[in-house]
Amino acid sequence: MKQFLRSGLEKWPYSVVAVITALAAFGAYTSMYAFRKAFSAATFEGVQYLGVDYKVWLVIFQVIGYTCSKFYGIRFIAGIDGSKRGRAVLFLVGIAWLALLFFALVPAPWNILFLFANGFPLGMIWGLVFGYLEGRRATEFMAAVMSVSLIFASGFVKTVGRTLLDQFHVSEYWMPFLTGLLFAAPLIIFTTILDCLPPPSALDQQLRSVRKPMTAADRKSFIHNFAPGIVLTLIIYIVLTVTRDLRDNFEVEIWHDLGIKDVHIYTLTDSLISILVLIALSLLILIRHNFKAFKVIHLMIISGCMLTGISLLLFRMHQIDGITWMSLAGLGLYMAYIPYNAIFFERMIAAFQAKGNVGFVMYIADAAGYLGSVTVLLYKEFGNNAGVSWSHFFQQSLTGVALIGSIAGICSLAFFVHKKKVRNTDMPILAA
């Protein structure tokens, strides 16, 4: 059956296959998000353990699991055989769903442990799904569509979760498992489509370089060649991940602090942001030279970081309202964050013809980013900021994005420009 579907896709026009692949990747990752973030739609109001909100414990334990997964994924994702991706996706999400079942069955606070068991397997899904997309001449478009699922799915899943809570009066403990149930069939369908894709063509490999599993020697050589740039990238990615995680996990509380409790606000604002970011990233496919595109991506990241700071300043000066601020801050944040998850490393590898794959370096960044995220969460709850509202803490984090992200982004651009002068290996690409 798989071979039959693959042979059929091979006969279709490249552009059609690219659209199908993009939509399947978007659908698969959006479906996975339902197993990961549905619990954040609940507030568990008034429930505390050891003086810390129960929901914060849930977020901390899931992020710890997710962080451990990213460290494990540095080697696992870099070396996995492409033929095993589909089975791995379904197996890992199945484990995460089983953890949500036990979360519902086991009484609090002991069920907190199952959020760790939920987060660990889900941390490897991004690399597995992105592995289907990388190394193709339409990677920008496909990766852009997949990556906006990070924005769209966040609001969409919260809306579904809140609907189950408010309209169907589902328990806050059962809601995450039942939300996953709604997305189980779509996940299987989209993953099956991805698993039937033909491998990158000879033209893809010529224009973007061959992507193969990496050995230990390959990983060491990659780090050695790009160490300063990777360090700067990690600095930016850590502040972006921390801030994006705060917005993602506590968006309900942030909107409530602003006096807005409309259940549709999450989907409305995040959908608009998704469209704008998708358009910006998709247009990069029109840039024929890999390194020129890589420089434009840097400028997009720097601009996004600056926009978060400008929007915060305008909000504090009472020049814009809360909805406008959250929309602009979200747009700037995702303008900077999404390129790292979509095409930053894709273009970097292609521009320098480096021997490696996106999964390896992406999981280094994710491991550092989520380690920073859980560290900040622990600092917020057990440091001197326990009484600070999530809205105010989010504003503090945005300040870090604006300052640290902008400066490190400029330094990163300068490093890679210098690196390119020394090693001029840029290759043109064709628009899909």
In the chain the domains, ranked by start, together with CATH numbers, are: 2-422 (1.20.1250.20)
**CB of 301 within 8 A of CB of 405?**
yes
> Is the Cα dihedral 165, 170, 172, 173 positive or negative?
negative
Position 56 pLDDT exceeds 50: yes
**CB of 377 within 8 A of CB of 394?**
no
Helix (H, G, I), strand (E, B) or coil at 75: helix
Query: With the CA atoms of 417, 415, 360 and 114 taken in that order, what torsion angle do they form, in degrees rounded to the nearest 10?
Result: -130
C-alpha to C-alpha distances, 144 to 165, 223, 305, 310, 356, nearest whole angstrom: 32, 26, 19, 25, 21
pLDDT of residue 182: 97
pLDDT tens, position by position, 293-309: 999 999 999 999 999 99
**CB of 142 within 8 A of CB of 193?**
no
pLDDT of residue 428: 45
Distance between CA atoms of residues 299 and 53, nearest Å: 39
Q: Which of 344, 332, 321 is nearest to 399 (CA)?
A: 332
Position 427 pLDDT exceeds 50: no
Query: Which residue is listed with tokens 């850590």?
Result: 238
Q: In the predicted model, what is the mean pLDDT of residues 78-90?
A: 88
**CB of 153 within 8 A of CB of 30?**
yes
Query: Which residue is listed with tokens 């606000």?
Result: 265
Kindly give the interhelix angle for 216-249 and 406-422, rounded to the nearest 10 degrees. Answer: 160
pLDDT tens, position by position, 290-349: 899 999 999 999 999 999 999 999 999 999 998 899 999 999 999 999 999 778 998 898
Strand partners, 53: 48
In the chain, DSSP finds a helix count (H) and a strand count (E) of: 19, 2
Residues 6+ apart with CB under 8 A from 113: 61
Distance between CA atoms of residues 163 and 77, nearest Å: 35
Q: What are phi and psi of 389, to 5 degrees?
A: -70, 160
Q: What is the pTM of this model?
A: 0.79
Which has more confidence, 283 or 213?
Answer: 283
Mean pLDDT check: name the lowest of 1-15, 73-87, 90-104, 328-342. Answer: 1-15
Position 426 pLDDT exceeds 80: no
Q: In the predicted model, what is the mean pLDDT of residues 247-258?
A: 84
Distance between CA atoms of residues 126 and 115, nearest Å: 18
pLDDT of residue 2: 64
Mean pLDDT check: name the lowest of 86-95, 96-105, 352-361. Answer: 352-361
Q: What are phi and psi of 210, to 5 degrees?
A: -75, 135
pLDDT of residue 267: 73
pLDDT tens, position by position, 193-215: 999 988 887 777 766 666 677 88
Distance between CA atoms of residues 180 and 103, nearest Å: 13
Q: In the predicted model, what is the mean pLDDT of residues 95-119?
A: 97
Helix (H, G, I), strand (E, B) or coil at 221: helix
Q: Please give the distance of CA 67 from its chain centroid, rounded to a whole number.
A: 13
Q: What are phi and psi of 269, to 5 degrees?
A: -70, -45
In order, the DSSP letters of 176-202 are: HHHHHHHHHHHHHHHHHHHHTPPPPPH
Position 264 pLDDT exceeds 80: no
C-alpha to C-alpha distances, 115 to 11, 178, 201, 366, nearest whole angstrom: 44, 15, 40, 19
